[in-house]
Amino acid sequence: MCPPEHFAVTYAINPWMRPDSPVDPARAMRQWRALRAAYESLGHSVATIEPVAGLPDMVFAANGATVIDGTVLGVRFRYPEREGEAAAYQSWFRSHGYARVHAAASVNEGEGDILVAGDTILAGYGFRSDAAAAGELAAVFGRRVVSLRLVDPRFYHLDTALCVLDGSTAMYYPAAFDDAGRAALASVFEELIEAKDEDAEVLGLNAVSDGRHVVLARQADGLARSLFSRGFVPVPVDMSELLKAGGGAKCCTLELRNQEDRP
């Protein structure tokens, strides 16, 4: 995670961002600290990266890399405003003992668009990451990659429209995908929970699941009820200040899937 020390909305690269309406940096920091505390109270360990001045979106650590079994694929951002983050995240991995750190050739915005479901990698494209990133993912991680086209600009990253809950279950917003994407998801997951408009629109799908606990926007109460009825434990957090940049809990979180974590 990256503390939102320099968080601001000074440019607009997604429909949520309004540089003319104010953000409250102290409130963003309180919300971020509460998110971090939620992970720690669930027994997860949190590592942080030093925020860099002039990179207001660096708080969205999900966009920093993709890590599977200790192998790291770095990112390349679509927009120059975020370009500087790529090197900062890559050097974090190099200085924290990760031996396999690959630089990205195609545009890929890390776990914003790249999600892991069991042995399959799901790769979103259409707004940010290039479709060509799929080939690179297959080569670097040696796994099957399923490409998913995103079609609604409000859900510009895959992690705003889909959350993997465990190896066989996901929750998603069907209208963010095309027919081929919906069919692909139906073949990957045994169970798909559909988010209603009002839950998707507070970025309720931008959630983090450890297979049992699901940390998600507290405003997404319909989703929380669906999760609860299926045996998951919803853990509500308020990310309303970070939502002004188009981010939620998952955006603030890069999962470090290290080799020793493998069951």
Which residue, 77 or 93, is less far from ligand ARG as judged by CB? Answer: 77
DSSP, res 197: H
Q: How far is the CB of 113 from ligand ARG (least distance, A)?
A: 8
Residues 105-144 that bind ligand ARG (CB under 6 A): 112
- The smaller minimum CB distance to ligand ARG, of residues 64 and 142, is found at 64
Note the residue count of the chain: 263
Which of 36, 157, 213, 244 is in the footprint of ligand ARG by CB under 6 A?
157
Binding residue for ligand ARG, selected from 57, 136, 166, 199, defined by CB under 6 A: 57
Q: Which stretch binds ligand ARG (CB under 6 A): 46-54, 58-66, 144-152, 170-178?
A: 58-66
Residue 11 CB, nearest approach to ligand ARG (Å): 9
Alpha carbon distances (Å) from 216 to 44, 103, 119, 145, 236: 16, 31, 24, 26, 5
115-151 residues labelled b (16+ CB within 10 A) or e (exposed): bbbeebbbbbbbbbbbeebbebbeebbeeebbbbbbe
Residue positions annotated with a catalytic role: 157, 251
Q: How far is the CB of 217 from ligand ARG (least distance, A)?
A: 13
State which of residues 163, 217, 237, 251 lies at the interface with ligand ARG (CB under 6 A).
251
Count CB-CB contacts under 10 A for residue 233. Answer: 14
154 or 157: CB nearest ligand ARG: 157
200 binds ligand ARG (CB under 6 A): no
- The rounded distance, in Å, linking the Cα atoms of 1 and 17 is 21
Q: Which CB atom, from 63 or from 209, has the smaller least distance to ligand ARG?
A: 63
Q: Which stretch binds ligand ARG (CB under 6 A): 36-44, 162-170, 183-191, 246-254?
A: 246-254
Find out whether 222 and 198 touch, Cβ atoms under 8 Å: yes
Binding mask 70-99 for ligand ARG (x = CB under 6 A): ------------x-----------------
Sequence-ordered list of residues with C-beta below 8 angstroms from that of 68, at least 6 positions apart, any chain? 116, 121, 141, 143, 257
Residue 20's alpha-carbon distances to 16, 82, 154, in angstroms, are 12, 19, 19
What is the rounded distance in angstroms from the CA atom of residue 173 to the CA atom of residue 177? 8
Nearer to ligand ARG, 227 or 251 (CB): 251
SS3 142: coil
**Residue 60 sits in the site that holds ligand ARG (CB under 6 A):** yes
Instruction: Determine if 246 is a binding residue for ligand ARG (CB under 6 A).
Output: yes
Copy the structure tokens of residue 149: 């086209």
Positions that interact with ligand ARG (CB under 6 A): 13-14, 17, 57, 60, 62-63, 82, 112, 157, 159-160, 245-247, 251
